[in-house]
Amino acid sequence: MVNAGDMNGSGNLMDFLDEPFPDVGTYEDFHTIDWLREKSRDTDRHRKITSKSKESIWEFIKSLLDAWSGWVVMLLIGLLAGTLAGVIDLAVDWMTDLKEGVCLSAFWYSHEQCCWTSNETTFDDRDKCPQWQKWSELLVNQSEGASAYILNYFLYIMWALCFAFLAVSLVRVFAPYACGSGIPEIKTILSGFIIRGYLGKWTLLIKTVTLVLVVSSGLSLGKEGPLVHVACCCGNFFSSLFSKYSKNEGKRREVLSAAAAAGVSVAFGAPIGGVLFSLEEVSYYFPLKTLWRSFFAALVAAFTLRSINPFGNSRLVLFYVEYHTPWRKTTRLGKYPVLEVIVITAITAVIAYPNPYTRRSTSELISELFNDCGALESSQLCDYINDPNMTRPVDDIPDRPAGPGVYTAMWQLALALVFKIVITIFTFGMKIPSGLFIPSMAVGAMAGRMVGIGVEQLAYHHHDWIIFRNWCRPGADCVTPGLYAMVGAAACLGGVTRMTVSLVVIMFELTGGLEYIVPLMAAAVTSKWVADAFGKEGIYEAHIHLNGYPFLDVKDEFTHRTLATDVMRPRRGEAPLSVLTQDSMTVEDVETLIKETDYNGFPVVVSKDSERLIGFAQRRELILAIKNARQRQDGVVSNSIVYFTEDPPELPPNSPHPLKLRRILNLSPFTVTDHTPMETVVDIFRKLGLRQCLVTRSGRLLGIITKKDVLRHMAQMANQDPESIMFN
């Protein structure tokens, strides 16, 4: 950490460079930031603005603008994320319908909009109107019959392939970072890792466009995860407009946390669920101020989306499916991403079309599965045999025996369930934007609805069984299959992501019913316990692990008995630690050390003998400072002595000009003793967001522990390959 106080307060000690040289305080790609340092830089900036604000009215207004810029950024993120989500929904709606036909009165209308505007439509035939023509009607003037079916089937597959090909090509050519759901990478970025371009403008544009394409193509994937990525790109874009956020990687991440909340908010129409998701799942450093701002951003986003109102209802937002899995790397097809996408799309389209439960969009499917069977419901799932002698109010229909439609629906649901499970496994991790929420929910909802119908029929036919006797009298409405579907969806999603509180909140914000909190909660608890018994990692953690990102999970508990001395470098037998001395090395010595090693920084000690620690110098800043001095300072040559001390001694007149580097020295490096238990060290790394920590014994420097060392040690202790941690 550059000590801010020293940088500004001890200007008299420096004979060059009052303003920081360019690039100081930035990080290299695929490196980890130092949270404490970022925080201290921001406080410094804040202090400067506060003290300036007393000088003039203009400065005072500037300080007010600075204080409010956080809220402005949140507002802008909410507006843009909500707008993009609305546009995506509208476009997906239109393109999904384009696979089946076209609206003659206006080609940019979706099926539903087309028939809305038609006056001849009655309530029962909402879906049928002369303006909407299937391709077979338009091309060969036939709407029924085998040849029309085959033509529609063929064109459905062709459109799907066309969309998928376009999407995968766009991703490959313009923005490789736009593929996948993006949540694992966003988790990693929020934990303090730098991946340049991952949240860039190109990614934003391409991800938005290709998301529409892949969802429209009918692949078994969802748009929720990618929407979080899109919202974070918005967040990154707007934070780059304000120097408060663009110049500070720590502050920028506060904005990104809130943007992730806004993303979930528009994906599900669940602002509170979004904030909790961001808190529980995505964010690493989540101060309470961010909680509040996230809520604001999530609310603005949800409000904007509702104003656009892409579905004509303001409650349930459409659903799609999303998945990604660690086995991707081993598939052969994975080497040919375009071919892979085409093949999977073709298989999906060919199998999905004939089954009504896979042909429709997954969100419609989920919505139908959640619904209870009212008297007016025309769905096949509600084909019950009614008792003609009974007259009851519409909203209190007793359990009834299933009719033939329900049995057909059960078979189709079972086939759809198997297909959905298999195809999502192959869809996940393709090189296109893809999310996992909706496919998991669909799988759970299908299984849940089937169980629900089974229990309902059992209860109807055997209401004298002990399990039913006490709470289900004949003629009562005691089993609601739609609730089983909802609980199944929650359980499946909970098992995949290991969300808990945020899952329950999202589910009840989705369904609008606070009453179902107990069954939802029970489902979430059970699925988490069962899933944890198979392995502690959710899909996002597994993905992070697979990619080798240096992510220090807040939820992992470290309970081993090792001490700092077991983890620090150098180990016994290794070469001694590379250190700088405060007043005895030449510029050339330092340059050689930099060249020969690739460490991110070097401890500075009093002398090689005493090993008493003075501070820590960052590699990047050392390089910049020496380069700068060689260019701009006369007399600094390879022989110049590098001084990290406060007052360099008077040198003999002929000796080369010394290079004073105290200003880049972090005078408060973090230290622990060699006896510190590793669990404490892990805790410190997590909570303070450190990049490295020095190890001392009785004031003498012994070694260094970096974040990577900690992660490798943790992998080793969990019997995993420590080499799986790949970046710094």
Binding site for a copy of itself (CB under 8 A): 1, 3-6, 36, 39-40, 43, 46-47, 50, 271-272, 275, 280, 287-289, 291-292, 295-296, 299, 303, 500-501, 504-505, 509, 512, 514, 517-518, 521, 525, 554-555, 559-561, 563-564, 606, 612-615, 667-669, 671-673, 675-677, 679-680, 683-684, 687-688, 696, 698-701
Least distance (Å) between residue 675 CB and a copy of itself? 4
The residue among 435 and 615 lying less far from a copy of itself, judged by its C-beta, is 615
Q: State in angstroms the smallest separation of the CB of 671 from a copy of itself.
A: 6
Structure tokens at 83: 């707008």
Helix (H) or strand (E) holding 662: none
CA distance 706 to 712: 10
Nearest alpha carbon to residue 677 among 571, 566, 550: 566
CB 258 within 8 A of CB 279: no
CB of 312 to a copy of itself, least distance (A): 17
654 vs 698, beta carbon nearer a copy of itself: 698
Q: Report angle CA 200, 201, 207 to the nearest 5 degrees.
A: 90
- In Å, how far are 23, 24, 341, 640 from 620, measured between CA atoms? 9, 8, 42, 20
Q: Per-residue DSSP letters for 161-185?
A: HHHHHHHHHHHHHH-GGGSB--HHH
HEC assignment per residue over 580-637: EECCCEEHHHHHHHHHHCCCCEEEEECCCCCCEEEEEEEHHHHHHHHHHHHHHCCCCC
Is the CB of 462 or the CB of 612 nearer to a copy of itself? 612
Of 502 and 706, nearer to a copy of itself (C-beta) is 502
- In DSSP notation, 480-491 reads -HHHHHHHHHHH
- Coil, helix or strand at residue 10: coil
Residue 220 CB contacts under 8 Å (≥ 6 apart), including other chains:
321, 323, 348, 362, 420, 423, 424, 427, 439
Q: Is 447 helix (H, G, I), strand (E, B) or coil?
A: helix
Q: CB 291 → a copy of itself: shortest distance, Å?
A: 6
Inter-residue contact 186 to 282 (CB < 8 Å): yes
Residue 127 CB neighbour total at 10 angstroms: 10
Least gap, CB of 159 to a copy of itself (angstroms): 38
User: Given the complex with a copy of itself, which of 271 and 448 has the nearer CB atom?
Assistant: 271
Least Cβ distance, residue 309 to a copy of itself (angstroms): 15
Task: Identify whether the C-beta of residue 239 lies closer than 8 Å to the C-beta of residue 246.
Answer: yes
CA distance 616 to 345: 54
**Closer by beta carbon to a copy of itself, 489 or else 521:** 521
Residue with smaller CB distance to a copy of itself, 593 or 688: 688
* Min dist. Cβ of residue 583 to a copy of itself (A): 13
- The residue among 129 and 301 lying less far from a copy of itself, judged by its C-beta, is 301
| Least Cβ distance, residue 579 to a copy of itself (angstroms) | 13
Indicate the residue among 348 and 511 with the shorter CB distance to a copy of itself: 511
- Cα–Cα nearest to 192, from 39, 37, 31: 31
We find the least distance from the C-beta atom of residue 144 to a copy of itself, in angstroms, to be 44
In this complex, which beta carbon is closest to a copy of itself, that of residue 137 or of residue 541?
A: 541
Contact 336, 308 (CB under 8 A): no
* Minimum distance of a copy of itself from residue 497's CB (angstroms): 14
Tokens of 265: 């908010």
Of the pair 412, 582, the CB lying nearest a copy of itself is at 582
CA 560 to chain centre: 30
Q: How far is the CB of 62 from a copy of itself (least distance, A)?
A: 17
Q: How far is the CB of 515 from a copy of itself (least distance, A)?
A: 9
The CA distances from residue 145 to 53, 141, 682, in Å, are 78, 11, 68
- Which residue, 432 or 504, has its beta carbon nearer to a copy of itself? 504
